[in-house]
Amino acid sequence: MHFTLERRLPTPDLSDVVDRYWVVRWDLRGRPSFRQDILPHPCVNLVFEPSGPAVYGIPDGTSSHHIAGAGEAVGVKFLPGAFSPYSRLPALELTGRVVSFAEALGPEATALEDGDDDADARIARVEAFLRARRPAPDAGITTVVDAARTMREGPPDLRVTDVAARHGVSVRTLQRLFRRHVGVSPKWVLQRYRLHEAAERMAAGEAKDLASLAQDLGYFDQAHFGNDFRRYVGVPPSAYAA
């Protein structure tokens, strides 16, 4: 196999911070390189790559990675908002950027880069780092993490007003909390999850009628759905489905 993706769950004591760990391995030696386009989730990722370690803020659209030769990337995918108390940068300043470990987490984070070792060792270092710096409980961050989970797991036609009501806050409060701890609005996060749902249904061949899909996802009409999908995925829904 030329390309593999492995996902690992965090240990229980970090399940309120880390969504999952992921390990990508590839071997294209003797084969053409290619560009991998990714529709990111609304999360910060801490990544060890052959080009060097980096912290990836939430991109506005798709992100692309040039894959060549052989290598491995190890990532830590944080829950939406859960990176905020560890970061030296406000969430808004991290959105759309790729920065060094030191810039995002402080000079002591450079110790995470030590050693040219395997995925297990890198994940263990990150876990130890997070445990040693676990912040005091924050009701605002808990609300954001729980609200984002509701968005991800709830029905596709869920609205921001529904999410706010379910978690006992006003829409304005939810917007303020997401701006502070996630770096994007709750509407943006909800839209991103809807686009992931759309892409997954189309990839599985479960969305033959795009007008019905748009309605299922809570869009006013197919045109609005098509515009959002094209903007963030890079191709029209019909082309992606084909």
- The rounded distance, in Å, linking the Cα atoms of 130 and 150 is 25
- Which domains are assigned to the chain? 3-132 (no CATH), 139-241 (1.10.10.60)
Q: In this structure, are residues 110 and 54 in contact, taking their beta carbons and an 8 Å threshold?
A: no
pLDDT of residue 30: 82
- The rounded distance, in Å, linking the Cα atoms of 48 and 21 is 11
Q: What are phi and psi of 3, to 5 degrees?
A: -150, 125
Q: What are phi and psi of 201, to 5 degrees?
A: -65, -40
Q: How far is CA 54 from the centre of its chain?
A: 15
Start-to-end C-alpha separation, the chain: 25
Sort 44 into a burial class: Cβ within 10 Å, 0-12 / 13-18 / 19+: buried
DSSP string covering 172-211: HHHHHHHHHHTSS-HHHHHHHHHHHHHHHHHHTT--S-HH
Q: In this structure, are residues 234 and 37 in contact, taking their beta carbons and an 8 Å threshold?
A: yes
pLDDT in tens, the chain (242 residues): 587 889 999 999 999 999 999 999 888 888 887 777 677 789 999 999 988 899 999 987 666 677 778 888 999 999 999 999 999 999 999 999 999 999 999 999 999 987 768 899 999 999 999 999 999 999 999 999 999 999 999 887 789 999 999 999 999 999 999 999 999 999 999 988 888 888 888 877 777 788 888 888 778 778 888 888 787 777 788 887 77
pLDDT of residue 61: 64
pTM: 0.87
- The rounded distance, in Å, linking the Cα atoms of 99 and 95 is 10
Q: Is 84 helix (H, G, I), strand (E, B) or coil?
A: helix
Q: In this structure, are residues 113 and 100 in contact, taking their beta carbons and an 8 Å threshold?
A: no
pLDDT of residue 220: 75
Q: What are phi and psi of 108, to 5 degrees?
A: -65, -15
